[in-house]
Amino acid sequence: MKNYFRIFESFSVLFIVFFISCTTYNFSAPQPVDKENIYEFPNDLQGTWRDKDYDDFFTIHKRYAQMHMSTKEKIQQGVWPRLNAQGGFVFQPFNCSSFYTARYDSMKRPIDTVSNYLLKGNKIYQIDEEGKLSKGYDYRLDNDTIILLKKDVVTVDLGRNAFLRKLNDTVYVINIMSGILGQDNTWWQFTILEIKPHERLTMWDCTEKLQKHPAMFYSKYRSRGSEIYYFDCKWTTPDLLHLMQTGYFEISGTLIRDKNK
């Protein structure tokens, strides 16, 4: 879960995007505890940043930041999975979602059909497990395949629930309350941003070594191999810098300033 997905995870702290990481780290307080909150991005952080291998990019303004995401998904029309002549399951093509999902009993008898998407006009809406609709997206048809074109801009404002704290002149910690990341609690998550020479920005994230730190007091295994960890800590600036130097944090990605934006 490194490279692009780790970059995406790092900036989800900035942009209220669900964590694509297999592991989530929650902290009892914003870090470091010996610094004041900063509610404006410094000039050196402001601008447009992107990874050279991906189309998504990030814009950081004085008091808010945005993630610009563009993705394409394939949806196979019809009901899946199906039964073949031998009574085995046939699933939709690889890397495709299904427009409808068929549910079977233990005897492989169909018992229900679930709608995963809704078409209305020139928009397609995804239906979640609770029956709620996503926003509408443009789409096009390619025979029996629906090509879903997603373009999203997610924004977070610096304020009471998201702010910076400074480690030194080039390193900042951005803290965000977990509650506005879709989790109903008052824990905090953070990532470390380091301004580098030659118009580069690196991001530092927690490593597995941090899971064994004495401040970690509770962990929970979740679905699909993911885990969530909780830390009760009051790290100072020297503490965090030492943790960065001793392998508790690592560089998860490097972005380049886009001077054309």
Which letter, b or e, does each residue of 11-37 get, where b requires 16 or more Cβ atoms within 10 Å of its Cβ?
bbbbbbbebebebbbbbeebbbeebee
pLDDT band at 1, cuts 50/70/90? very low
Q: Domains of the chain: which residue ranges? A: 4-63+158-257, 71-153
From residue 7, alpha-carbon distances to 54, 57, 125, 138, 201 in Å are: 11, 11, 27, 26, 11
Note the pLDDT tens digit of each residue in 75-110: 999 999 999 999 999 999 989 999 999 999 999 999
Cβ burial 132-160 (10 Å sphere, 16+ → b, else e):
eeeeebebeeeeebbebebeeeeebebee
pLDDT tens-place string over residues 172-206: 999 988 876 555 578 999 999 999 999 999 999 99
**Ramachandran bin of 213, using left for φ above 0, alpha for ψ from -120 to 50, beta for the remaining angles:** beta
Residues 139-173 have pLDDT tens digits of: 999 999 999 988 888 888 899 989 999 999 999 99
Which range has the worst mean pLDDT, 12-26, 44-58, 86-100? 12-26
Model-level pTM? 0.75
CA–CA separation, 98 vs 79, rounded Å? 7
Q: What is the pLDDT of residue 259?
A: 82
Q: Is the pLDDT of residue 19 over 80?
A: no
Question: Does residue 33 contact residue 234 with C-beta atoms inside 8 Å?
Answer: yes
pLDDT at residue 225 in the model: 62
Half-sphere exposure of 116 (CA within 13 A, CB side): 16
- Of the two residues 136 and 2, the one the predictor is more confident about is 136
pLDDT at 238: 98
Residue 12 in this model has a pLDDT that exceeds 70? no
Q: Using CA atoms, how far apart are residues 13 and 198, in angstroms rounded to an integer?
A: 24
pLDDT recorded at residue 54: 74
Query: Which residue, chain included where needed, has tokens 């404006």?
Result: 40
pLDDT at position 42 is 95
- Beta bridge pairs of residue 159: 162
pLDDT confidence bin for 211, thresholds 50/70/90: very high
Q: How many CA atoms lie within 13 A of 183 on its CB side?
A: 18
pLDDT of residue 182: 54
Output the CA–CA distances (angstroms, integers) from residue 241 to 54, 60, 122, 238, 255, in the order listed.
Answer: 30, 24, 52, 5, 21
Q: What is the mean pLDDT of the chain?
A: 87
Position 223 confidence tier, pLDDT thresholds 50, 70, 90: low
Q: Is the confidence at residue 221, as pLDDT, over 90?
A: no
